[in-house]
Amino acid sequence: VTLEARAGDTPLAADTLAQEVAWASRILAMHGYEDMTLGHVSVRGDDERTIYIKRKGVALGEVTPSDIVAVDLDSDPDNLAEGLHLETVLHTEVYKRRPDVRSVVHGHPPHATAFGATDAQFAYLTHDSVLFIDGILTYDGVPDLIMDARQGALVAQALGEGSALLLRNHGVLLAERDLRWAVLAAVLLERATQLQAIASTLGPLHPIPKELLAGIHSVKYQAGFAGEYWNAWLRELRRSGRAFDMPGEGG
Ligand SMILES: [Zn+2]
The parts of the chain modelled with pLDDT lower than 70 are 1-12, 250-251
Element (DSSP H or E) covering residue 201: helix 179-202
pLDDT attached to residue 6: 42
- The whole-angstrom separation of Cα 245 and Cα 22 is 10
Cα–ligand 1 centroid distance for 237 (angstroms): 25
Q: DSSP label at 235?
A: H
Cα–ligand 1 centroid distance for 74 (angstroms): 23
The helix/strand/coil state of 54 is: strand
pLDDT digits (tens, 9 = 90+) for 210-234: 999 999 999 999 998 999 999 999 9
Q: DSSP label at 31?
A: I
pLDDT attached to residue 10: 52
Measured in residues, the chain has a length of 251
Cα–ligand 1 centroid distance for 70 (angstroms): 20
pLDDT attached to residue 181: 97
Cα–ligand 1 centroid distance for 80 (angstroms): 17
Q: Is the Cβ–Cβ distance between 59 and 65 less than 8 Å?
A: no
Cα–ligand 1 centroid distance for 5 (angstroms): 34
The helix/strand/coil state of 172 is: strand
Cα–ligand 1 centroid distance for 131 (angstroms): 23
pLDDT attached to residue 250: 65
Cα–ligand 1 centroid distance for 192 (angstroms): 20
- The whole-angstrom separation of Cα 176 and Cα 186 is 10
Count the neighbouring beta carbons within 10 Å of the beta carbon of residue 49: 14
Cα–ligand 1 centroid distance for 222 (angstroms): 30
pTM for this entry: 0.93
Q: Which residues of 113-148 are buried (b: 16+ CB within 10 A; e: fewer)?
A: bebbeeeeebbbbbbbbbbbeeebbebeeeeebbee
Cα–ligand 1 centroid distance for 39 (angstroms): 6
pLDDT attached to residue 141: 85
Cα–ligand 1 centroid distance for 173 (angstroms): 9
- The whole-angstrom separation of Cα 17 and Cα 23 is 10
**The pairing of beta strand 137-139 with beta strand 164-167:** parallel
Cα–ligand 1 centroid distance for 77 (angstroms): 17
Cα–ligand 1 centroid distance for 191 (angstroms): 19
Please report how many Cα atoms fall inside a 13 Å half-sphere around the Cα of residue 132, on the Cβ side: 29
